[in-house]
Amino acid sequence: MDMIALGVSSSISVYKACEVIRRFQDKNCQVQVIMTRNASQLISPLLLSALSGREVIVNPFEEKQSQRIAHVSLAKEASLLLVAPATANILGKFASGVADDFLSTFYTTVECPVLIAPAMNEAMYCHRQTQQNIRKLKGLGVKFVEPEIGYLACKDTGWGRLASPDKIVEEGLMIIKKSESLKDKTILVTAGPTREFLDPVRFLTNRSSGKMGYELAEEALRRGAEVVLVSGPTNLFPPSRAELKQVQTAEEMKKEVLKHFPKADIVIMSAAVSDFMFAKAVSNKVKKEKLGENIKIAPTPDILVELGRKKGSKVLVGFAAETEDVVNNALKKLKKKGLDLVVANNVQAEGIGFESDFNQVSIVFPGGKSIQTDKMTKIEISQIILDKVEEIVGKKS
Ligand SMILES: Cc1cc2nc3c(=O)[nH]c(=O)nc-3n(C[C@H](O)[C@H](O)[C@H](O)COP(=O)(O)O)c2cc1C
């Protein structure tokens, strides 16, 4: 039975939370209500407790000892955090990481998907600050049930009316289903650059930050997959539930990838593996005057080609960093390496790609068809890539 953590904030449409609780119960879900203190002024927590069959959490500092750290235990239990209705205030708090009551603190602890149903008058909803907060949250992977146009409590007609409880619950259930869409699958993701050493001090590398691969690993975990993340050197916090294998060189990456390849159903090679290494790496620092004679370049092993030959029914995804004729070059790579999908981006475009939190990619399929995303956060791009991967998995099984 799924557990829905239902955040209720102080919008005039707060009474509709009763209907949301009932609909989830009809779908065999448990609901734990978390109200803001202001919401508890508009509607009694007792009513929502009676409907949900669970004590409503309002302010843990005033409640029983057992509820004081409930944000940690409930975060482990919840399949979804839904906030319905969500005020402009709670959107602002979530977007800026303010954690000054139970609901906003809870948001900072959850790993489950988050769905928000805003409700407010049109002026509040259309305000630039509110829209900026919504964009920021979407960029962080938060999903929204957009409000509707209709008669508002302030006697206006306009945008901002809470979406219908039916629609909210339907959206919530779809998201929960998605959070299990890669259950029983093992995904091997590579990320980051490699370092090809000349001597103990100097190495050849590239501008990859690893962000795209780490977001893919996070998203795969959110969808219930087992994740092995083989990572070159980065400054990123690794996803805590992934099996992390840290490597430096292309040779080490190849070794780790081949080790975990047999158990993987899906392999996503987003690492920027160096194409070249030094033909001769030496153990002592090369003297300046001898640099010239030591710098001889040799190709690194092509991991993707080897995986392409061995892949069988596995889904194999490659990345292509291009500077010109992006889609055609990506398609050539796909054919040469026997891939199911290539994600290509123009690494010379401003504000996206290497080191950035944003990307804009073309996803290229074997028949030559491709789709181009807008400029989005790497979290959003990772969701689109995994949606496409799931379609391929579905066709293969
Ligand atoms: C009767 C009443 C209705 C309100 N309706 C809304 C609303 O629909 N949407 C909204 O964003 N704020 C609404 N507000 C303002 C919020 O309650 C206010 O911004 C509050 O500080 C939000 O607190 P909370 O987010 O902790 O619940 C309303 C206030 C009152 C008194």
3-state DSSP: the chain helix, strand, coil percent, rounded to 5?
40, 25, 35
Going by CA atoms, what residue is nearest to atom 10 of ligand 1?
87
The response to whether residue 114 sits with its C-beta less than 6 Å from ligand 1 reads: no
The response to whether residue 36 sits with its C-beta less than 6 Å from ligand 1 reads: yes
The CATH code of the domain at 186-396 is: 3.40.50.10300
Q: What DSSP string describes 276-327? A: EEESS--SSPPPGGGHHHH--EEEPP-HHHHHHHH-TT-EEEEEEEESSSHH
pLDDT, position 62: 67
Helix (H) or strand (E) holding 75: helix 70-77
Domain assignments of the chain as residue spans, ordered by start: 3-178, 186-396
- Each residue's pLDDT tens digit, 39-49: 999 999 999 99
Q: What DSSP string describes 201-252? A: S-EE--S--SHHHHHHHHHHHHTT-EEEEEE-S-SSPPPTTSEEEE--SHHH
The preferred substitution site among 16, 83, 89, 121 for testing ligand 1, maximizing ligand atoms within 8 Å of CB, is 89
The response to whether residue 89 sits with its C-beta less than 6 Å from ligand 1 reads: yes
Amino acid present at 102: F
pLDDT, position 295: 86
Distance (angstroms) between ligand 1 centre and the Cα of 170 equals 25
The response to whether residue 12 sits with its C-beta less than 6 Å from ligand 1 reads: yes
- Each residue's pLDDT tens digit, 160-211: 899 999 999 999 999 998 888 999 999 999 999 999 999 999 999 999 999 9
Distance (angstroms) between ligand 1 centre and the Cα of 83 equals 14
The response to whether residue 198 sits with its C-beta less than 6 Å from ligand 1 reads: no
Distance (angstroms) between ligand 1 centre and the Cα of 153 equals 12
pLDDT, position 68: 53
DSSP letter (8 states) at residue 57: B
- CA 163 to chain centroid, in Å, comes to 25
The preferred substitution site among 6, 11, 155 for testing ligand 1, maximizing ligand atoms within 8 Å of CB, is 11
pLDDT band at 67, cuts 50/70/90? Answer: low
pLDDT band at 70, cuts 50/70/90? Answer: low
Mean residue pLDDT across the chain? 91
Helix (H) or strand (E) holding 383: helix 378-396
Instruction: Read off the pLDDT of each residue in 261-281 and give the average, rounded to a whole number.
Output: 95
Q: Ligand 1: which atom is nearest the Cα of residue 152?
A: 8
The answer on pLDDT for 351 being more than 80 is: no
Q: What are the catalytic residues?
A: 154
Please answer whether residues 276 and 298 qualify as being in contact, where contact means their C-beta atoms are separated by less than 8 angstroms.
yes
Please answer whether residues 285 and 276 qualify as being in contact, where contact means their C-beta atoms are separated by less than 8 angstroms.
no
The response to whether residue 133 sits with its C-beta less than 6 Å from ligand 1 reads: no
The response to whether residue 300 sits with its C-beta less than 6 Å from ligand 1 reads: no
The response to whether residue 87 sits with its C-beta less than 6 Å from ligand 1 reads: yes
pLDDT, position 46: 96
- Each residue's pLDDT tens digit, 386-397: 999 999 998 887
The answer on pLDDT for 221 being more than 60 is: yes
Distance (angstroms) between ligand 1 centre and the Cα of 222 equals 32
Phi-psi region of 393 (alpha: psi -120 to 50; beta: other; left: phi over 0): alpha
- Each residue's pLDDT tens digit, 253-268: 999 999 999 999 999 9
The response to whether residue 10 sits with its C-beta less than 6 Å from ligand 1 reads: yes
pLDDT band at 154, cuts 50/70/90? Answer: low
Crossing angle for the helix pair 88-96 and 128-139, to the nearest 10 degrees: 50
Q: What DSSP string describes 121-145? A: -HHHHHSHHHHHHHHHHHHTT-EE-
Give the whole-angstrom CA distance, residue 252 versus residue 258. Answer: 10
Please answer whether residues 385 and 216 qualify as being in contact, where contact means their C-beta atoms are separated by less than 8 angstroms.
yes
The response to whether residue 119 sits with its C-beta less than 6 Å from ligand 1 reads: yes
Look at the block and give the residue holding tokens 């929502």. Answer: 48
Going by CA atoms, what residue is nearest to atom 14 of ligand 1?
11
Q: Ligand 1: which atom is nearest the Cα of residue 13?
A: 8
What is the fold, at CATH topology level, of the domain defined by 3-178?
Answer: Rossmann fold (3.40.50)
Distance (angstroms) between ligand 1 centre and the Cα of 118 equals 11
pLDDT, position 293: 81
> Which has the closest alpha carbon to 71: 112, 37, 41?
112
Distance (angstroms) between ligand 1 centre and the Cα of 88 equals 8
- Each residue's pLDDT tens digit, 289-320: 888 887 899 999 999 999 999 999 999 999 99
Same CATH fold assignment for domains 3-178 and 186-396: yes
Distance (angstroms) between ligand 1 centre and the Cα of 53 equals 26
> Which has the closest alpha carbon to 379: 394, 365, 359?
359
